[in-house]
A and B are shown apart, each in its own frame.
Chain A
Amino acid sequence: MTLMKLTLRIWRQKNARTEGQFVTYQLDNVSEHMSFLEMLDVLNEGLVAKGEEPVAFDHDCREGICGACSLMINGYPHGPLPKTTTCQLHMRHFKDGDVITVEPWRARAFPVIKDCVTDRSAFDRIMQAGGFISVRTGGTPDANALPIRKRSADLSMDAAACIGCGACVAACKNASAMLFVAAKVGQFAHLPQGQVERKERVKAMIGRMDVEGFGNCTNTYDCEGACPKQIPRRFINEMNRDFIWAALTE
Chain B
Amino acid sequence: MRWLMNVLTSSIGAKALMAATGLILVLFLVGHMVGNLQLFGGPDMLNGYAEFLHSKPLVLWVVRLGMIAAVLLHILSSIRLTLLNNRARPTAYKLKRPISSTFASRNMFLTGLVVAAFVTYHLLHFTFRATHPAFATLKDAHGRFDVYSMVVQSFSDPLIAGAYIVALVLLGLHLWHAIGSTFQSLGLMSPKLQPIVSAMSLALAGLLVLGNVAMPIAVLLGLVARTQGVTLP
Identify the A interface with B (CB < 8 A). Answer: 9, 11, 22, 72, 74-76, 101, 103, 106-109, 171, 173-176, 178, 206-207, 209-210, 213-222, 224-226, 232-234, 236-245, 247, 250
Contacts and interface: CB of A to CB of B under 8 A. Distances in A.
Contacts of A226: 99
Interface residues of B, number: 43
A206 B185 CA distance: 14
B101 A220 contact: yes
B181 A216 contact: no
Nearest to A217: B15
B56 interface: no
B19 to A, nearest CB: 9
Given A236-B184, A237-B187, A247-B7, A74 B106 contact: no
Interface string B73-107: 00000000100110111111111111111100110
Contacts of B184: 219, 233, 236-237, 240
B189 interface: yes
Contacts of B12: 206, 217, 239-240, 243-244
Given A216-B11, A222-B99, 11 more contacts: A22-B94, A74-B97, A75-B97, A103-B94, A173-B89, A218-B181, A219-B180, A232-B191, A237-B184, A240-B16, A243-B10
Contacts of B93: 72, 75, 103, 106
Interface in B12-30: 12-16
Nearest to A219: B181
A72 B100 contact: no
B95 A242 contact: no
Interface in B90-146: 90-102, 105-106, 108
B4 to A, nearest CB: 9
Given A221-B101, A240-B12, A75 B191 contact: no
Given A234-B190, A250-B3, A216 B100 contact: no
Contacts of A214: 11, 88
Contacts of A244: 12-13, 16, 186-187
Given A22-B94, A72-B95, A240 B108 contact: no
Contact of A207 (B10, B94, B108): B10
Contacts of A75: 93, 95-97
21 contacts: A103-B93, A106-B89, A108-B89, A171-B99, A173-B89, A173-B101, A174-B85, A210-B10, A215-B84, A215-B85, A215-B87, A216-B85, A218-B108, A220-B100, A220-B102, A221-B105, A234-B189, A237-B183, A241-B187, A244-B16, A244-B186
Contacts of A76: 97, 99
Interface of B: 3, 7, 10-16, 81, 84-85, 87-102, 105-106, 108, 177, 180-181, 183-191
A241 B87 CA distance: 26
Contacts of A171: 99
* Secondary structure class of chain A's binding surface, majority of residues: mixed
B85 to A, nearest CB: 4
B12 to A, nearest CB: 4
8 closest pairs, A vs B, by CB? Answer: A241-B187, A225-B99, A215-B88, A225-B100, A75-B97, A174-B85, A220-B101, A240-B187
Contacts of B187: 237-245
B109 to A, nearest CB: 9
A220 B105 contact: yes
Contacts of A9: 94
Contacts of B11: 176, 178, 206, 209-210, 214, 216-217
A102 to B, nearest CB: 10
A250 B108 CA distance: 32
Given A75-B97, A236-B184, A240-B15, A107 B88 contact: yes
B100 A224 contact: yes
B88 A218 contact: no
Contacts of A209: 11
B186 A219 contact: no
A219 B88 contact: no
